Each structure stands twice: as structure tokens, then as C-alpha cells.
Structure 1
Amino acid sequence: MSKLVVFSEGLEIGSEARFLLQGLVFRGQTVLGVAFKTKPIAKLLCLTERLVRDAIRELVEAGLLVTQKQADKVGRPGEEYVASQYLLDLLAKTGRSAVAHQDPILYLFNEPDIYAKGPLSEADTGYEKAARKQIRSDGRPAAPGACGRLGASTRVLLAALLTFADQCGVVTGVGEAKLRAMTGLSPVALKHQVKRLVSLGFVRIHVPGVSHGFFRGAKVPSTYYLNLDHPQLGGQRIRRAVLVYAESGPSRYARLTNGLAPDVAGALLNLGPFALDVLYHKLARYTSHLLSLTWGEPGEKYGVVPGSLAGMIGRELEQLKVGKPGQSEAGYYWPGVLEHFFEVAFEWAEHLKKRLNGIAWQGYKPQLVRLIPAPEPKENGDILRIVTLILYPAPENQHSCIVYKDVRGGFIREFDSEADLHVRNRYEFGLLTK
């Protein structure tokens, strides 16, 4: 596979320069092995000459490219560029090619015709005209970012997230500082590009992390749920199954606090919605861990699984402290919270297995299961709690999307794929957010 040097955190270059650099690297000796000029590279990569010119200047200043004059030409000598020894040394490093989801990453850097097509674009009568492939007056295709194409900065961030995503598209433990270092985006630009990825459906849900202001002495990074089967990621075959489960159940805050001592539950609730949502998605991940290891098996078959879950909870939650008026600077750990999260994750996993095993895909054993809790419903009328399970790999020769409404008068409906769900339902199920 081609090398991926674009995410080297020591590179002092912006996102567009990183995009150009990776495009050059993917083409290997056909480009980097010889001197090249701005205009041919712009045409080859379907970029504007201005973007290429500005990006090349950054790469030269960073020592990744070297400028040389065309001394044999008559008149004003032109400029050509060659790979520097610094860049060649980066390419020679081992392990650079070992990245996750390499096919969609390669696609992001190689395919100009990836459109910034949001989930609601099909209902937009103006989209078809905007997305039509257009040719510039000089005969070259319009650059990515033009005519509705996905821009370079957006692609670089999505590729960075893909390097950390598991097979169900969940990204955890990656802070904003690391993403900025990998992509060259400023804090403001990073937030803007995350919102753009959410609006286009590449990121299903973004759960913002929380700072020291919520948990004393510890930051919690954001969680990103990516849609790895997005149609603009290369038209690959569906690799994941989707199981939407709706039931009458406790709210997320009730699930987090039921069973805790009143003072501990109060301390938890006083953290506010941002911190509570972070903790709820952690609880969903712990439940996913149990489901991944025991799907299709009864509870007594857990074996050593409880130990692995306890270790996961301990590593993540023992560091979180909450201050109290009059207490020491050290803060305090919530009594019983670690054990509580273990018990709730176990109960939730067993409940889902009881309700869903035998309903969906008889005999199917996924390698990985990830829960995506849907947004909380408004407090009116009959309240359904919805959680979507993303399962990898998708079962062979079966429908890959099931919706199960588990109430009196409920239903089970099967679809060939998630794409067959109405857009409104995908938002309702938490598969898309705004």
C-alpha cells in the first residue's frame, strides 16, 4: 500500500498542503521520482492552480519539497519541484502503511468526484445541477470543493478519523489537540469541519468531550460515530449490519443513576447534560464490549469477560473526580460508581440479548457490536427509547438492516440496507444528527 505521511504530527503545514502532499505520495515514483511543475500537478489531481501553488510554497518552507530552476530553458527560467531528502526519509520509515480503513482513505485522496452531498440532498431540487461534473474553461475538471465536491480540509479530517475508527466506525480516545496536529487545522477550523462531516452524514453523531471543568484533573476526549458505509466513500459493498431497537425504557439519566446512593446520584446529575452524555456513551461502549464477546450466548457463558470489562471501566473512570464545597483539592471518587457502571452494563447487555437474539439473523455471530444511543425523545406522549446496534461484519445473503419496535402492537421490518430507511427515520434512530 502507498505510504501515509500526511498525519505525521511534526509537520508544520496546513490541511490543504497535507492533502496535496498525500496526493503526491500516493502517486509515488510517477510524481515524486521526477521534477514536476504546478500546472501539470493541478491538472493531475483536479485541484485549482492557486491551491497547488500555495500548498507547494508551504511544503517547500517545511523542507518537504525542494525548488530547482529550469536552467536549460530560453528566457525567464521556470520553477520545478522535487522531493527533499527529509520527505524521502519519512517515506522510508517502516509502519507508515499500517492504517485502518485504507481503502476509503485512499479513495479520499485519489478521487476528485466525491460530492458534498448531505442526507437531505435528494430532496433538494437544486442538487442535481450542483453535483453535475463540470469542466473549467481551460478544459480541466473543477477542483474538489468546487461544484459541490468535498473540499481538501474536510477530506483530511475524515481520513484522520478513519485511521482511529474501529470496524463499526467508532472513534474514542482521540483529543482535539491530536487531531489538530494531524490535520493542520486551527481550533475554529476543526470545529467547523466536524460540523460539516456531521451535516454530510459522514459522522453520525459527535459527542463532544469535556474538560477539567467537569471532572477534576482529567479531560475526556470526544467520541465520533462514523458511517463507514456512506455512499460517497467509494461505493464499496455493505460491510456492516444495522439493528434499530425501540422500547419503553428508562431515560439515559435514570439508567445512569438508578441504584446509586442519593448523594452520589445527586453529584452525578449536578455535572449537567454535557458530562452526563459523555458518561452515557461510555456506558454504551461498556455494554457493546459485553455484546461483542457474548452475542448469541447465555449470561453464564461470560467466563473471563467480566474481568476485561472491570479493567476497562477502572482505567477510564477511576481518574474522574468531582469536587465538593469544603473538600480538599484532591476531590473525591464517587462511592460505588465503578461497580454501578459494571452492573448496569451487564444488565443492559443481557436485556438486549434476551430481546434480540432469535429475532435478528438466526445463528449470526458478529465479531464486533457497537451501540449508538439515539437522542432523547421530547417529553410528550408515548416515549420510546431507541438504540441502534452496528454489527460487523454484515450477515451473508440476508437483509442488513432491521427495525424492531418492541411494544404492544409493535413490528419488525427488514430492509436491504440502511440506505432504504427514510431520511426522517435515520435522524430519529440516531444514525444521522444535525
Structure 2
Amino acid sequence: MVEVSDQVVFSESLEVGAESRFFLQALVCRRPAVLVTPFKIKPVARLLCLTERLVREASRELAEAGLLVTQKQADKVGRPGQEYEASQYLLDLLAKSGRSMVAHQDLALRLFSEPEIYAEGPQPETDAGNEKAARKLIRKDGRPAAPGACGRLGASTRVLLAALLTSADECGVVTGVGEAKLRVLTGLSPVALKHQVKRLVSLGFIRVHVPGVSNGVFIGAKVPSTYYLNLSHPQLGDQCRRHGVLVYSSAGPSVHERLTSGLPPDVKKALLALGPAALNVLYHKLARYTSHLLSLTWGGPGEKYGDVPASLDGMIARELGQLKVDKPGQNEAGYYWPGMLEHFFEVAFEWAEQLKKRLNGKVWPGHQPQLIRLMPAPERRDGLRIISLIVYPAPMRHKCCIVYKDVRDGFLREFDSEADLDVRNRYEFGLLTE
């Protein structure tokens, strides 16, 4: 028998819907014997805590796609029953995929193998005792309600979250994965995908969603969305010791000021003319470049970067070099963009040095993270700028969560984990968004 209990089956060649993908993965995780023995609808539905409707319709779709084959129980008395078993195509697919090597495979598998994952969003402490009325288990037409009606996280939502987890880095940040690929991986329609992203944000599984921009902004190039996943979500299990969180608040430049500092007036004007959506995307790219420098030089002497600039140059060239814009009234494309590559490098270098100067030695002394990711919070009107540093791995000899307000009469407070922060503070700090 093929060992599949620790595999994530995400293949772009599977032309089935989200619920069928969820059922297939749950079946592989929790009932690997399906590969050698047939299964019936009712027993499997009870085992996986799914409705018979979902299991029946998913099995039919998987059979039509060639992943399952049907068998009739002709030797039984009465009406012949129907069973399903894995097809040779599915067996070959599983054998070919082998054991997936992704950063959060264990969390993705949990979404399929653990039925008791609930659609519970973050609630302020004052609202903790206000429980919503349970949804009815029977729909108006008399058919069984969806799995989420029992309070569990629904199949489509789990499929999307699992797809994002398999694409995320160790800090839970997903970049370079466009909506088209997510639709292929999940079987969701464009409308359903947008709905499920909003749902994951509202439930706190996605900290921040930075929508990408279409080729209507940059000539012939689409910029994919960025997703900051909340790996500390309580419904994902005890993950608080995997990562450290530093919330850093200080008086600093606004998004526009940081992006345009030092640029000639005409170039600054042209950059700002791209609009808020494009500027937000570029700001988070700048945060990523700064994160790259911090990851490689945290705890080291300032401005001694060795070969690091070359790696950052390559990253900026790959991502920003393809972005071209038109100069009004002229035919030449990219009239100011080439000079922006050097500008982004300089701004990222300056930002990284500022953070190292303010934070090294004051937070987690002696800890050397393998990866640091900056997550900017939304702009505030009081002049304070908040960014969160997600670090991997978590410091072993220090508190895992620090809130540092670096202004006059500021403070530095330590917490055992992010879970010790009040939910309202997490929204304020940008660790959660609405």
C-alpha cells in the first residue's frame, strides 16, 4: 500500500471543484486504506464528519475525473449498492507526488485530517461570553446543511487555506502566487475565491491581504497579491513557539514619504500618480526587500553586508524590472522606472539600518533568526508608524512577543506569546485586519 497519510495532494491537473478536492485530501489523510479497499458513502461521511450529500457529489465528480472508480455490489440482496475505490490514475498521482516538502505541510494536513476546526474569528475579551446561535443542521429544502453549519470550518475555506499554507514561507507570507494559480489549485471560481479570501481575513487566518494590481497599471505585467497568514491562529493548534513577533511603533515617514524620499519632483509626481493600490503593493515589496537584508544581517555590524547587496539587486531586478509605465504624451515605455530600481535598493538599505540600530541589543539579545518578515500596519493619523517583525524560529530563551513603542515616554513590554495580547491591540497593531 502506498504511504499517503503525510502527503498534501495539490495538483494543477485536478479538474475538480473545491469540495471534491477537500474530500479527496481528507480521504487520503484519514482513510489511506481506500487505496486498496472500496468505501461506501455513509460510513466515510461519518468518519470524516461530512454530510452524505457532500461525500456523494464529490465521489461522483472524482469518478468523472478518473480519480475514483465505481463498483456495484451485485451479490447483495435487494437494490445493488455502490462503492468507490481509488483508480490507477490516483495511485500513480500519489506515488509520483511522494512526500511533499513544504514549510507548513503539518498545518495543511491538519486542515484535512482534523474535523474539529471551527470557523471562529478573533473576539474581544468583553465579547467572549456572547455565543452566536448555532446554525440549523437542515436546510430549508430539507437537505443536510454544509459541514460549516455545525460551526466547523467549511470545505472550500479549508482548501484555500491549505493552498496558501503550501505556498507560504516559514513566517507565513505568500508572494508570487496569482489568483489564476489559486483558482487552479483550489477549483474555486473567481467570485468564490474572493469570498473565501475575505472569509479567511474575517476569521483571522489571514492577517493582511494586499491585493495585487492588473496590467492596467503596469504595461503587460500583473503583480500578484501578498498574503500574510496567521500561523498563531488557535484553530491551527499550538504554534506559538514557532515564531516570534515584535510590534515596533515609532515616529517615522508615511508610506508616500518613504517611497518617494530623495526622488526628483517630476519622478515623485509620476510615482504617486500610480494610485493608492499600486503604491500599497510597492510599499509591501519594499518591506520584503528590507526583510531580506535584515534576515541576512540581523545582529551583525551595521553597513557590513558582504555579498548581500548582490542578492538584493537580483531580487529587485526580477520583480521591479518587468514593471513598465508610460510617460503621458510619449511612446517610450518605462520612462522613469529604470532609475527606481536603485532607489528601492537605497531605501531598503536605509530602512534596514534604522531598524537594526534601534532594535539590535534591545530585543532578543543573542538570538539570530533565520528569517525576518516585516508586516506594515495601516497608516495612523497620530504620526506613529507601526510595523511587526515576524521572526523564525522563535527565540528559545526569551519571551516570544514584544511590543516596543520607541518614542519619548515609550515602553517595551514582553509577553509569552501573541495570544496574550488583547484582540483590540492586535487589530491596532496590524496583526489582524478586517
Shared fold by TM > 0.5?
yes
The separation in 2 between residues aligned to 1:3 and 1:87, in whole angstroms, is 16
| Deviation, structure 1 residue 331 | 4.3
Q: Is the 8 A contact 1:173 1:222 kept in 2?
A: yes
The residue number in structure 1 matching 2:109 is 106
Structure 1, unmatched stretches of 5+, are 135-140
**Deviation by residue 1:369-416 (Cα, 9 ceiling, x = unmatched):** 0000000113xxx32001110011111132111111111111111111
- Equivalent pairs: percent with the same residue? 76
Tell which deviates more after alignment, 40-49 or 325-334: 325-334
Matches within 5 A, 1:1-400: 2=5, 4=7, 6-27=9-30, 29-95=32-98, 97-120=100-123, 123-127=127-131, 130=134, 144-328=147-331, 330-378=333-381, 382-400=382-400
Q: Contact 1:286 / 1:345 at 8 angstroms: preserved in 2?
A: yes
Deviations for 1:223-280, whole angstroms, at most 9, x for unmatched residues? 0000112111123452100101111110011100010111111111000000000000
- What's the CA shift string for 1:343-392, capped at 9, x where partnerless? 100000000000001110111111110000000113xxx32001110011
> What is aligned with 1:138?
none
- Paired with 1:30 and 1:346, the residues of 2 have a C-alpha distance of 54
**Change over 3 Å in CA distance of 1:84–1:121 after alignment to 2:** farther
In 1: Cα distance, 2:171 partner to 2:325 partner: 32
**Residues 237 and 250 from structure 1, CA distance in 2 versus in 1: closer, same or farther, beyond 3 angstroms?**
closer
How many Å apart are 1:299 and its aligned residue? 2.2
CA contact (8 A) 2:258 2:347 kept: yes
Deviation (angstroms), 1:5: 5.8
CA deviations over 1:272-316 (Å, ceiling 9, x no partner): 000000000000000000000000111243100011111111111
Q: Which amino acid aligns with 1:385?
A: R
Q: Find the aligned partners of 1:127 and 1:306 in 2 and give their Cα distance.
A: 53
> Unaligned regions of 5+ residues in structure 2, if any?
138-143
Structure 2: distance between partners of 1:248 and 1:290: 22
Offset at residue 89 of structure 1 (A): 1.1
**TM-score normalised by structure 2 residue count:** 0.94
User: Could you tell me how far 1:76 is from its partner in structure 2?
Assistant: 1.0
1:335 CA drift (Å): 4.6
**Contact 1:46–1:142 under 8 Å retained in 2:** no
* CA pair 96-179 structure 1, distance change in 2 beyond 3 A: farther
Tell me whether 37-46 or 292-301 shows the greater mean CA deviation.
292-301
| Matching residue of 2:420 | 420
Q: 1:196 and 1:121, CA in 2 relative to 1: closer, same or farther beyond 3 A?
A: farther
Of residues 345-354 and 142-151 in structure 1, the stretch that sits farther from structure 2 once superposed is 142-151
**Aligned partner of residue 299 in structure 2, secondary structure:** coil
Separation in structure 2 between the aligned mates of residue 427 and residue 403 of structure 1, nearest angstrom: 14
Deviation at 1:33, TM superposition (A): 1.4
Q: Measure the CA separation in 1 of the matches of 2:102 and 2:254.
A: 38
Taking the aligned partners of 2:333 and 2:132, their CA distance within structure 1 comes to 59
Segment of structure 1 superposing worse, 294-303 or 399-408: 294-303
Distance, in Å, in 2 between the alignment partners of 1:329 and 1:255 is 27
Distance across 2 between alignment mates of 1:330 and 1:275: 17
The TM-score, its normalising length taken from structure 1, stands at: 0.94
Are the structure 2 counterparts of residues 151 and 121 from structure 1 closer, same or farther at C-alpha, using a change threshold of 3 Å?
A: farther
Q: Distance in 1 between matches of 2:58 and 2:168?
A: 28
Query: How far did residue 106 of structure 1 move?
Result: 1.1
Give the C-alpha shift of residue 326 in structure 1.
2.1
Aligned length: 424
1:147 deviation in Å?
2.1
